[in-house]
Structure 1
């Protein structure tokens, strides 16, 4: 979770620099009246460090600028690099917001002291309690489910039931998984520890490992391709990866199954954001965060990556809605970070690599 700090890739900047006229302060009069020069200027730019890809966030930020006149300067990189960057920059950071994926990453940034609490009736109204930090340091902005994807050629969905059941003997040699090194499966296991306890979770994850048909895959797409190739029959993926594959091939011989519908529900996680501790434009950053949680922004923010809106008053896109309704796990996603270290140790003990 704490890689060596690479050079940031500043992929894009929305808009031009604020005009020189907007930066000038009124000159002080000879009488010493400097009231005008000391009056704070309305912010015209806010800076975001984003672990979401440029093509997902650029249209959203451009829309915000169109609606408010406030320009959004953004820098993209992976979550670990951005967290290390913020730590290294300290009070000199230009970042006003950190936008990243997975509650585990958001929790880590909070533990590093990189956020500050945000008191906002708007955010409290728009974002459900289980999709935000207890201390209001970060808020989920879109939801992704980590669920079962299966071969429609070799699996009858009646065979499927729960995450736990994938450890049963019937799935021996039929399961593919993404590597344990990625935060997504770490977060799933962490929430299982939260609900089931460490002993039972270790037994389940150990069963998954025993049932693996191949070595763990580098990413969700590779795992689904292994299912399509007949190397295995089922896997676990974030829904948006399935969405990307389905958009490319509407007739793909895969389908989603929603597990644990008679129990705790499907594991969900978030992409989200928090106000940085040393934000230079805290009010402007808060305004942007509130706007991202609003109905007018949520639909576009979620649809950009085939995710679900975090604001539960907003419907998912028609494409995503085609996957059907499901009961989601209501455990606070913060547990994905709080128990992340325990999850990593557990996965290592059962040789899930």
Structure 2
């Protein structure tokens, strides 16, 4: 099996949390060792290398490295990758300018992908078979990115203190009866920004502002930590409702830690709708073509691989995201989540309304 060549960080990076990725505390050392072993540095990753694909990814999962290796074996194309938070990668590409070696950008939120597009760091994807494989909603209108996996923002709640009808709609979280019952992470997190962006699109800015004000009043504590921390807080009795992405909760149910599994077992997961049959908030992990990509044929081959049965399994089996291809078996543990129906809100809206979403949170005092 070929060795994947990873890229050491030599460009100036701006430290900023992306959210949603698994901890990457050991990734940098592993990548540097791999690069040194192969006699490679960031300077050797040259745009236009024959049979090479350069990926900038905001994901940090060991399974992704195996996915790259599987694609290498199948295609004969050598994969090189750089992993960091989405904002770090964006700043790196800005600094690299036209000399950026990036061919593809992978990020875990439509709002994050929009930031690359807004910065002029992407280009329209060439036509490919992938368009026939996924719903139209998962292809950005200007073909700047395509969705690879689905992720749902919902709530985990204590069934002994909260009934299902109290978390049936997002509006329910604004009820004064829930004062002191909600745990959630910072408003600056991209997942919360995308959620609020859809609320603005669905309800209008005034109603979205009222909701944010009421949720702040219902918080059990100052926003802190990640989604897993919120679920653990419910299990510890600090609150009774945690806003979380579905896969954090599913991964907790299958954790090797007894305490983590018990925390998940003390809660149930629900997917609030936007009311009036408007569906639920479903986001994506997606991929974009870099503006200065040279290896476009190789890039499209990789996108189409990720949208194959094998590619989908390798992409989501560890993360517990939801496949976007029909008839692909869902990862173990997803049978525990309730049935859902996506809203029809265009995913690029999550980025376009991002600034407005942050303004609403700021005015509500949601730090």
Deviations 1:22-42 (A, max 9, x none): xxxxxxxxxxxxxxxxxxx99
Aligned to 2:14: 5
Is 1:256 aligned with 2:254?
no
Is 1:143 aligned with 2:150?
yes
In structure 2, C-alpha distance between the alignment counterparts of 1:204 and 1:56, rounded to whole Å: 38
In structure 2, C-alpha distance between the alignment counterparts of 1:17 and 1:118, rounded to whole Å: 31
Q: Which runs of 5+ in 1 are unaligned?
A: 19-40
Aligned to 2:3: none
Is 1:245 aligned with 2:249?
no
Cα distance change on mapping 1:326 and 1:85 into 2, 3 Å: same
In structure 2, C-alpha distance between the alignment counterparts of 1:121 and 1:47, rounded to whole Å: 19
In structure 2, C-alpha distance between the alignment counterparts of 1:323 and 1:299, rounded to whole Å: 18
Task: Report the aligned-residue RMSD.
Answer: 2.5
* Contact residue 303 and residue 317 of structure 1 kept, 8 A: yes
Cα distance change on mapping 1:42 and 1:209 into 2, 3 Å: closer
Deviations 1:38-91 (A, max 9, x none): xxx993221101100041411111111121121211110110010111111112
- SS, match of residue 254 in structure 2: helix
Is 1:84 aligned with 2:97?
no
- SS, match of residue 135 in structure 1: coil
Give the count of matched residue pairs: 329
Cα distance change on mapping 1:4 and 1:70 into 2, 3 Å: closer
* Contact residue 317 and residue 332 of structure 2 kept, 8 A: no
Return the index of the structure with the highest Cα Rg.
Answer: 1
Which runs of at least 4 in structure 1 moved beyond 3 Å after TM superposition? 6-14
Deviations 1:120-160 (A, max 9, x none): 24121123222231100111111110001101332232433
Q: CA deviation at 1:208?
A: 0.5
Aligned to 1:55: 62
Is 1:167 aligned with 2:180?
no
Query: What is the TM-score normalised by the length of structure 1?
Result: 0.87
Q: CA deviation at 1:4?
A: 6.0
In structure 1, C-alpha distance between the alignment counterparts of 2:179 and 2:330, rounded to whole Å: 35
Aligned to 2:301: 287
Query: What is the TM-score normalised by the length of structure 2?
Result: 0.84
Deviations 1:275-327 (A, max 9, x none): 11111211111111121122331122122200001224434224212323212
Aligned to 1:277: 291
Deviations 1:222-252 (A, max 9, x none): 1111111111101110111112211124442
- SS, match of residue 122 in structure 2: coil
1:180 aligned residue (180, 187, 196): 187
In structure 2, C-alpha distance between the alignment counterparts of 1:212 and 1:287, rounded to whole Å: 46
In structure 2, C-alpha distance between the alignment counterparts of 1:11 and 1:196, rounded to whole Å: 46
Structure 1 window deviating more from structure 2 (83-92 vs 115-124): it is 115-124
